């Protein structure tokens, strides 16, 4: 017997299977992919050319961080988006830098200290759990991580839980197109499938922003 708790997960899986049927080029995509970014390649996240295809300025225009804002960067890495947001929310704000990999959190903490940013708290998460209280933040970002999630419905439910009512999620992930860098095409998921998963997780409102050449950006609440 299938319980109601499994219905969203099955609906998302069915959508992904239908997409795979229509797009044979990505039939090796696995919904519970265990492919993770190797922290040994951290320098790839800092390449200057990244600004050309994943502009921080464009991201900030959508996030609109304000002084005193509470924000969580999920899968923060060494702080590409985290540090600029921390600068803008100021000392009255709170930024949670959340990552699965301790190497990333250590590097980010060093950079925050070097930059004099005292409003960042590093948090190590688990595959299916974000150790933050309910309604902890006004906004959250999940950048370049969605395709790595092992249990997408569970993780999106966690994101919904930590966001305050009316809070916004900025989700960025690789478009299923050939690009000069990034994960294999077989691991990438179309924005429409991601949007369906967000809806199943309780995000009632969605806006797509076509600002990046290689990435989908979805604003959800």
192: containing domain: 4-220
Q: Hey, what are 115's tokens?
A: 């930059």
Neighbours of 26 (CB within 10 A): 18
Concatenate the DSSP letters of all residues of the chain into one string.
---GGGHHHHHHHHHHHHHHHH-GGGTT--TT------GGGGGGGG-TTHHHHS-HHHHHHHH---TT-EEEEET-TTTTTHHHHHHHH-TTSEEEEEES-HHHHHHHHHHHHHTT--SEEEEE-BTTB--S-TT-EEEEEEES-GGG-SSHHHHHHHHHHHEEEEEEEEEEEE-SS--SSSS-GGG---HHHHHHHHHHTT---EEE----SSEEEEEE-
Specify the pLDDT at position 43.
77
How many folded domains does the chain comprise? 1
pLDDT averaged per 10 residues, the chain (length 221):
47 46 34 59 82 97 98 98 99 98 97 98 96 99 96 97 98 97 95 97 98 98 98
pTM comes to 0.82
Question: What's 170's domain CATH number?
Answer: 3.40.50.150
pLDDT of residue 29: 30
């Amino acid at each position: 017997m299938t319980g109601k708790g499994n219905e969203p997960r099955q609906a998302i899986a069915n959508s992904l299977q239908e997409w795979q049927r229509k797009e044979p080029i990505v039939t090796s995509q696995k919904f519970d992919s265990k492919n993770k970014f190797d922290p040994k390649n951290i320098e790839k996240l800092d390449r200057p050319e990244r600004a050309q295809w994943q502009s921080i300025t464009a991201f900030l225009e959508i996030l609109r961080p304000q002084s005193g804002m509470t924000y969580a960067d999920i899968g923060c890495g060494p702080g590409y988006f985290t540090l600029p947001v921390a600068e803008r929310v100021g000392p009255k704000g709170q930024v949670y830098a959340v990552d699965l990999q301790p190497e990333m959190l250590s590097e980010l903490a060093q950079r925050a200290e070097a930059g004099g940013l005292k409003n960042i708290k590093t948090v190590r998460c688990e595959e299916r759990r974000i150790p933050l209280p309910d309604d902890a933040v006004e906004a959250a970002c999940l950048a370049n991580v969605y395709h790595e999630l092992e249990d997408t419905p569970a993780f999106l439910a966690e994101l919904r839980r930590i966001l305050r009512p009316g809070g916004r999620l900025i989700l960025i992930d690789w478009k299923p197109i050939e690009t000069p860098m990034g994960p294999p095409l077989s691991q990438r998921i179309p924005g429409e499938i991601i949007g369906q998963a967000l809806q199943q997780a309780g995000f009632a409102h969605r806006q797509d922003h076509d600002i990046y050449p290689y990435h989908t950006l979805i604003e959800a609440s």
